Amino acid sequence: MEKGLTQKEVQERITAGKINTLESRITRSYKDIFFSNIFTFFNLINVILFILILMVKSYRNGLFFFTILANTVVGIVQEIRSKQTLDKLAIVTVNKIDVIRDGIESQVRVDEIVLDDCVILKEGMQIPSDALVLDGKIEANESLLTGESLPQLKEVGSSVLSGSFVTSGEAVCKVIHVGKDNYAQKIVSEAKKYKTHQSELKKSINIILKVISVLIVPVGLLLFYNQYYRLESTLQVAIVRTVAALVGMIPEGLVFLTSVALAISVIRLANQKTLVQELYCVETLARVDVLCLDKTGTITEGKMKVIESEKFEEFDFDKVLGNYVRIFSKGNATATALAAAFEQRKDLEVINKEDFSSDRKYSAITVKNEGTYYLGAAQILFPQNKKVLDKAKEAAEEGYRVIILGVNRKNDSYLNCIPLGLIKIQDSIRSNAKDTIRYFYEQDVECKVISGDDPVTVASIAKQVGIKKAEFWVDASKLNEDELRQAIVEKNIFGRVTPGQKKIMVDALQKAGHTVAMTGDGVNDVQALKKADVSIAMASGSDATKNVSNIVLLDSDFSHLPFVVKEGRRVINNIRSASSMFLVKTGFSVMLAILTIILADTYPFQPIQLTVISMFAVGIPTFLLQFEPSFGRIDKKFLRVAFRNALPAAFIIAMAILTGIVFSTIFKIPETMISSFNAIQTGILYTSTLYFVYTPLTKYRVSIIITMQVLLGVAFIVAQKFIGITALNESLVIFVICYTVLSYFLMKILRELFDKAENALKK
């Protein structure tokens, strides 16, 4: 037996930095958090605008910058809080490995491995470092590194690569590379690199920000030219008015609110024992319309138990199985169940063994003078034996996992073996599986069970938990790729599925236009999990499965998934509403900027006025309403709905201000009074837009909106001098009241016209 390194040698390597340091892939570093929150394009614009305001000594109009500071600080604090929560959870799921040091087996974390360590690799593990096989043999799937889909046999002297995973066997290996020197690190392996998540929410927000980024500089320059050169305003007035327009155009709180909302969701999910390894996958899961479930460990508890065995011929069952479990005492759930049912024996001389793998679906031991005993699926070992197949089918229909024991006395092929007996193994169904499946059906999510087990067993269990069309099962081992692609779209129950087939099935569903979530816990699920839009692993599953998944269920209970879906919907629905409110300000600011340039008129706001209005119409209410339950089904129309809500309101506000400009010209209204009219009318219309955007109205929503309107009114009265508000004359008061009432009907008309225009474009 290998003695491995001594503790002194381990410490020397740690001191020399020869340790398997791994980069965290779940959270960003503190440096990255500060950098990404502080150094943004819009922060840069706001700093420039703030400096301009300071230069002309209009200090009260620089109040907007403190809102930017607050957003940045809260964003940093919230992301750090989220990071700390995730990092604590990551410790719970961190992979550990058996090492031999000072001749004694012990367990260490994979980031505590040092160069030349002797590690023990077993089925289901993801290989943490490049190594050489010293003793034993394994099969390693290197598809995530090399593209080779077939497992590769690794015997004494063979090298194994970090990032690949063990599909069968056990071996002692010597670590030859650690940390950044590993093969996987050098090629930025897909096994280690977290896939970029396709997020409709992120994409939509980026589109909004790009459009505004393109507009803001030329519009700002034209506005300044208009104010300073055409209208011959003072430098102070020109800068203040230009800054007001640009501040209005910037949706400074949108990215902040999105980041905070997602960070809070991560913390809420953590309380439900759910580790989210990528923020935006919460949103994607909320959009899923097909859920692919692995039977073992997901629908069932994954705790196998041998119920009974049946002989086909006279032989010593206990003797053969006792020696079998001596060789395969550890491994998958089936091996564990057999080890618990049959006492280990040493009265047969085992000269060779063949480990179980998901591709072969059998394992074997070769006994001196007796031949090779095979243990595996009836359809694989005895595809033409009607008696065996009927027996296996009968037990499978009762919900048992069935394995057959056979022997080949000539040691030539498993297909020539003689059936000896049958073993029935039972896996208990999770008590909450039925309710979880029912929830997904209620949300129009189609559920499909994809398993490596006998399709009859899979169908029996699927029927018990309420999977639709469970009686129409499919044996994937009898289908070619084209047939499999067609079947996965039409059928729901699949058995005898190989790892490669699982990936093909996910791909076929995606090409059919579905958003696919996949659950799994074994190495045979890894390829499909990597392919799925959202991958969900059980913490009790293999290292490889947890490493490639978007979400890890820390207590291995998939009944948490409905909560994840609801959380995703709450975030998306509330951010979409918040986006509409931010776009209202951006919309009317752009419209007014263009109008004032065309009409060669003064921009109608001061920065302080827009800052106060935005605070009570957008900043505070959207933040408070972000926590409200909003579990309605979502679609891919994030931008359409956001603009549908925003543009009519922006147009109505712009028209009110334009009317104010016309009034001031015709009736010679003082500039201070018309400026007050613009601020008051905008404040009323903007806060009233909340009623339309946050429909259907609830008591909580109404109370928040009314509170904001009252607080805005109080601010206008108490701080009128600071904000730049003066009393309106009687005609302007009447106009404000009349236009506010009229705006309700205008809003409805414009929204209907918007919908008709969209429908016409579709046709």
Q: Biggest alpha carbon distance in the chain?
A: 113
- In percent, the amount of the chain with pLDDT more than 70 equals 92
Same domain assignment for residues 495 and 546: yes
Same domain assignment for residues 352 and 461: no
Q: What angle do CA 327, 333, 338 make, to 5 degrees?
A: 50
**Secondary structure of 276-341 in the HEC alphabet?**
ECCCCHHHHHHHCCEEEECHHHHHEEEEEEEEEEEECCCCCHHHHHHHHHHHCCCCCHHHHHHHHH
pLDDT reading at 131 higher than 80: yes
Residue 89: predicted pLDDT: 64
The answer as to whether 317 is a domain residue is yes
Same domain assignment for residues 424 and 468: no
Q: 189 pLDDT band (50/70/90 cuts)?
A: very low
Same domain assignment for residues 356 and 421: yes
Total domains present in the chain: 2
Note the pLDDT tens digit of each residue in 684-705: 999 999 998 898 888 999 999 9
The answer as to whether 480 is a domain residue is yes
pLDDT reading at 192 higher than 70: no
Same domain assignment for residues 355 and 462: no
Q: What angle do CA 480, 482, 484 make, to 5 degrees?
A: 65
pLDDT reading at 504 higher than 90: yes
Closest CA to 687 of 742, 618, 751, 590: 618
Domain containing residue 383: CATH number: 3.40.1110.10
Contacts of 687 (CB under 8 A, 6+ apart): 616, 617, 621, 705, 708, 709, 712
Same domain assignment for residues 293 and 437: yes
- 756: Cα separation from own chain's centroid: 35
Note the pLDDT tens digit of each residue in 570-583: 888 888 888 889 88
Q: What is the DSSP string of 53-93?
A: HHHTT-GGGGHHHHHHHHHHHHHHHHHHHHHHHHHHHHHHH
- Which residues face 136 on adjacent strands? 171
* Mean pLDDT computed over 666-693: 88
Average pLDDT, the chain: 85
Closest CA to 528 of 539, 544, 512, 552: 544
**Secondary structure of 488-514 in the HEC alphabet?**
HHHCCEEECCCHHHHHHHHHHHHHCCC
The answer as to whether 496 is a domain residue is yes
The answer as to whether 525 is a domain residue is yes
The answer as to whether 477 is a domain residue is yes
Q: 508 pLDDT band (50/70/90 cuts)?
A: very high
The answer as to whether 229 is a domain residue is no
Decide: 424 and 394 in contact? Cβ < 8 Å: no
* Mean pLDDT computed over 274-278: 80
* Mean pLDDT computed over 696-722: 92
Last residue of a domain, one of 496, 527, 559: 559
Decide: 507 and 524 in contact? Cβ < 8 Å: no
Same domain assignment for residues 336 and 354: yes
201 versus 715: which is more confidently predicted?
715
Residue 188: predicted pLDDT: 40
Same domain assignment for residues 321 and 397: yes
Note the pLDDT tens digit of each residue in 310-352: 998 888 888 999 999 998 876 667 888 888 899 999 999 999 9
pLDDT reading at 524 higher than 80: no
Residue-range definition of the domain harbouring residue 278: 274-299+429-559
390 a catalytic residue: no
Report the alpha-carbon distance of residue 350 to residue 43 in Å, rounded.
Answer: 71
Last residue of a domain, one of 559, 580, 600: 559
Considering only 126-135, 294-303, 743-752, which range has the smallest mean pLDDT?
A: 294-303
The answer as to whether 52 is a domain residue is no
Catalytic annotation, pick one of 87, 135, 181, 294: 294
3-state secondary structure of 425: strand
Same domain assignment for residues 515 and 532: yes
Same domain assignment for residues 386 and 401: yes
Same domain assignment for residues 552 and 437: yes
Decide: 531 and 505 in contact? Cβ < 8 Å: no
234 versus 124: which is more confidently predicted?
234
Report the alpha-carbon distance of residue 399 to residue 425 in Å, rounded.
Answer: 9
Note the pLDDT tens digit of each residue in 613-631: 999 999 899 988 887 877 7
The answer as to whether 361 is a domain residue is yes
Last residue of a domain, one of 406, 428, 450: 428
CA dist list (Å): 557 to 156, 517, 520? 39, 16, 12
Domain containing residue 537: CATH number: 3.40.50.1000
Same domain assignment for residues 490 and 368: no
Going 415 to 125 to 148 to 478, the CA torsion angle's sign is: positive
